[in-house]
């Protein structure tokens, strides 16, 4: 019959269990547990092994009594063979006078401190062994006794509850972080219009949650054989090395995964024959998760995550599940942006149709009317009875012809000013401003510092149409007395500013069906350009357009290759 536990040990046990239940991180909890067990039993060394999912070996090993250097020297953690294996398999307390003499012992690795007396107890969670608590080298060469066994068993059962709580807490925290990140991404799906920024956010949040070194999204190039890395998150060196880089569709793991449309987990990149080994070496990657972006059953890109940080570089099932959830969001983003692009082209075409209809109406109403009047005038000459009557009829007719001629000319200029082709943008704008001033009485000046750069023809057209629509708006809405048009080269592109001193407007007041400003934005967007509007009621308006240019091989500036502008007058003019 063992002595009952002394009051002081019971108190120590109680205090430690209170401390254990208040600990919310599993790692910190386990560390506290081994320290308490050693203190309560007078053991020199204590350790705790956490059994992995397979139930046969140890995934974590927490110790006390062995310093960090000694731990380093011993090297690899125990695998759970020998005496530790007995404990894992049998899950019952075990006490030994001399650990090394037991027939089941497999011996210590080099540099391991000598250990003889031994006490091990299982930590059970709902009937399943979660881990084992081991104590060795009780002070003054004594053996561990029944009281030690009892107290460590009690401690282990309390620890089990605390571990379960801490695990639940950790997974709840993980869940709430995952939910928060997902929420942020869903919000950006609605708010963010720049696809690259959105995909970069997906990479950043995924990498953070999975705790990986690198996350990237690759999309197939339009009509090409390559995958282009469209977004990356990782340290800045890796990011620079990866972003915009191309992967061969045929010779890379990403390409294969895209083709098959199924996720893949690679635990060792060098052993995977599908991986492009040169690329893997260049980026120093060891492991990977590859998840396709699927839209309506079709893979349209892939998300890849590399190198889990921490002791274990391999990814877990949960990591894969998370990557799949994020990939689904990224797929929506890519799909949306492609649809918006298609939609933009559709709207530009629709705007052209509106414009053609307007021109047709004008041809019919004005030019058609004028020609009909001329026909009538010819009849009047023929019907004239006196010379004076004939002269009068001819004079009327002449006036009609002059008017019709003017109408046809101005229509032709609207369709495509020949000055643009013959003399370039500046001359065409000067002519436009001149006619505008004459017609409206609003003073208009053009200033340009373009140097010798002759702009690409689609850029000239877009700028011309923009100024044309801006002037129309000024007549219709501004009540201005003066307009300034300024062209300059800036940041490797051309900037066009149209400023008036009229009554200004607030963008929030613009009618939903107004086409002018929208049309300007869309034309500019096709060349990768932008439009800024600075206006406030009562303070005039400035439209600031910018079109980037790239240097073509022959030294002539070229428009950015985002698409091509169309050559029809802007809508609403």
Ligand X SMILES: Nc1ncnc2c1ncn2[C@@H]1O[C@H](COP(=O)(O)OP(=O)(O)OP(=O)(O)O)[C@@H](O)[C@H]1O
Shortest distance, position 239 Cβ to ligand X, whole Å: 40
Q: 117: Cβ–Cβ under 8 A, 6 or more apart, which residues?
A: 96, 97, 98, 99, 136, 137, 138, 141, 142, 143, 144
- The residue sitting closest to ligand X, measured at its beta carbon, is 516
Distances, alpha carbon 514 to alpha carbons 270, 463, 510, 519, 553, in Å: 58, 20, 7, 9, 40
Q: Long-range contacts of range 135-139, CB-CB < 8 Å, 24 or more positions apart?
A: 135/37, 135/38, 135/41, 135/43, 135/45, 135/46, 136/43, 136/44, 136/45, 136/46, 136/99, 137/43, 137/44, 137/45, 137/65, 138/41, 138/42, 138/43, 138/44, 139/42, 139/43, 139/44
Shortest distance, position 543 Cβ to ligand X, whole Å: 8
Closer to ligand X at the Cβ: 403 or 472?
472
Give, as ranges, the residues between 501 and 540 that touch Mg ion (CB under 5 A): 516
Q: 372: Cβ–Cβ under 8 A, 6 or more apart, which residues?
A: none
Q: Give the CA angle between residues 491, 497, 499 to the nearest 5°.
A: 150
User: Out of ligand X, Mg ion, none, which partner does residue 541 contact, by CB within 5 to 8 A per kind?
Assistant: ligand X
Establish if 511 lies at the interface with ligand X (CB under 6 A). Answer: yes
Stretch that binds ligand X, among 96-104, 167-175, 313-321, 515-523 (CB under 6 A): 515-523
Stretch that binds Mg ion, among 173-181, 345-353, 447-455, 467-475 (CB under 5 A): 467-475
Distances, alpha carbon 508 to alpha carbons 205, 505, 516, in Å: 34, 9, 15
**Burial of 417: CB neighbours in 10 Å, binned 0-12, 13-18, 19+:** buried
Number of residues that bind ligand X (CB under 6 A): 19
Task: Figure out which of the listed residues 516, 529, 548, 569 binds ligand X, where binding follows CB under 6 A.
Answer: 516
Closer to Mg ion at the Cβ: 393 or 543?
543
Establish if 505 lies at the interface with ligand X (CB under 6 A). Answer: yes
Establish if 572 lies at the interface with Mg ion (CB under 5 A). Answer: yes
Stretch that binds ligand X, among 106-114, 123-131, 233-241, 498-506 (CB under 6 A): 498-506
User: Out of Mg ion, ligand X, none, which partner does residue 376 contact, by CB within 5 to 8 A per kind?
Assistant: none
Closer to ligand X at the Cβ: 163 or 531?
531
Give, as ranges, the residues between 439 and 478 that touch ligand X (CB under 6 A): 473-474, 476-478
CA distance 331 to 299: 9
Closer to ligand X at the Cβ: 402 or 532?
532
Number of residues that bind Mg ion (CB under 5 A): 3
110 SS3 class: coil
Task: Figure out which of the listed residues 17, 473, 495, 570 binds Mg ion, where binding follows CB under 5 A.
Answer: 473
Binding site for Mg ion (CB under 5 A): 473, 516, 572
Binding site for ligand X (CB under 6 A): 473-474, 476-478, 500, 502-505, 510-511, 514-517, 541, 571-572
């Amino acid at each position: 019959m063992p002595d009952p536990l002394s009051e002081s040990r019971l108190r120590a046990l109680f205090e430690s269990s209170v401390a254990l239940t208040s600990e919310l991180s599993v790692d910190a909890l386990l560390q506290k547990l081994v320290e308490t067990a050693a203190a309560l039993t007078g053991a020199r060394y204590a350790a705790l092994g956490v059994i992995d999912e397979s139930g046969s070996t140890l995934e974590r090993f927490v110790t006390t009594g062995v310093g960090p250097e000694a731990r380093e020297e011993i090297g690899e953690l125990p695998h759970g063979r020998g005496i530790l294996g007995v404990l894992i398999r049998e899950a019952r307390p075990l006490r030994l006078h001399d650990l090394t003499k037991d027939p089941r012992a497999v011996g210590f690795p080099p540099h391991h401190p000598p250990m003889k007396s031994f006490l091990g107890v299982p930590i059970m969670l709902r009937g399943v062994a979660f881990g084992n608590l081991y104590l060795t080298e009780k002070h003054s060469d004594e053996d561990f006794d029944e009281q030690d066994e009892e107290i460590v068993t009690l401690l282990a059962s309390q620890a089990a509850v605390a571990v379960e709580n801490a695990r639940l807490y950790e997974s709840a925290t993980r869940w709430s972080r995952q939910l928060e990140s997902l929420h942020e991404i869903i919000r950006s799906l609605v708010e963010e219009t720049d696809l690259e920024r959105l995909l970069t956010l997906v990479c950043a949040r995924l990498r953070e949650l999975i705790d990986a070194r690198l996350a990237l999204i690759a999309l197939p190039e339009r009509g090409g054989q390559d995958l282009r890395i469209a977004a990356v998150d990782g340290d800045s060196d890796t990011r620079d090395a990866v972003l915009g880089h191309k992967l061969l569709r045929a010779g890379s793991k990403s390409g294969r995964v895209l083709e098959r449309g199924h996720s893949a987990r690679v635990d060792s990149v060098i052993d995977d024959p599908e991986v492009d080994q040169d690329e893997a070496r260049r980026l120093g990657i060891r492991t990977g998760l590859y998840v396709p972006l699927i839209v309506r059953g079709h893979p349209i890109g892939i998300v890849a995550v590399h190198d889990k940080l921490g002791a274990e570089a391999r990814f877990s099932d949960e990591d894969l599940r998370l990557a799949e959830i994020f990939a689904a969001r990224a797929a929506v983003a890519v799909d949306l942006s492609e649809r918006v692009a298609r939609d933009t082209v559709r709207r530009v075409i629709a705007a052209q149709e509106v414009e053609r209809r307007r021109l047709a109406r004008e041809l019919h109403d004005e030019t058609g009317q004028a020609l009909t009047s001329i026909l009538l005038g010819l009849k009047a000459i023929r019907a004239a009875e006196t010379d004076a009557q004939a002269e009068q009829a001819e004079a009327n007719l002449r006036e009609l012809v002059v008017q019709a001629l003017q109408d046809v000319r101005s229509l032709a200029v609207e369709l495509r000013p020949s000055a643009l082709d013959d003399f370039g943008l500046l001359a065409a704008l000067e002519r436009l401003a001149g006619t505008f001033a004459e017609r409206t009485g609003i003073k208009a000046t053009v200033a340009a510092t373009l140097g010798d750069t002759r702009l690409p023809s689609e850029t000239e057209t877009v700028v011309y149409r923009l100024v044309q629509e801006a002037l129309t708006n000024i007549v219709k809405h501004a009540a201005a007395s003066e307009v300034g048009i300024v062209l300059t080269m800036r940041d490797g592109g051309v900037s066009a500013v149209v400023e008036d001193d009229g009554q200004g407007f607030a963008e929030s007041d613009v009618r939903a069906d107004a086409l002018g400003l929208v049309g300007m934005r869309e034309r500019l967007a096709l060349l990768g350009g932008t439009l800024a509007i600075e206006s406030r009621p009562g303070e005039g308006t400035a439209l600031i357009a910018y079109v980037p240019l790239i240097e073509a091989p022959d030294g002539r500036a070229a428009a950015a290759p985002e698409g091509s502008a169309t050559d029809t007058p802007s809508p609403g003019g």
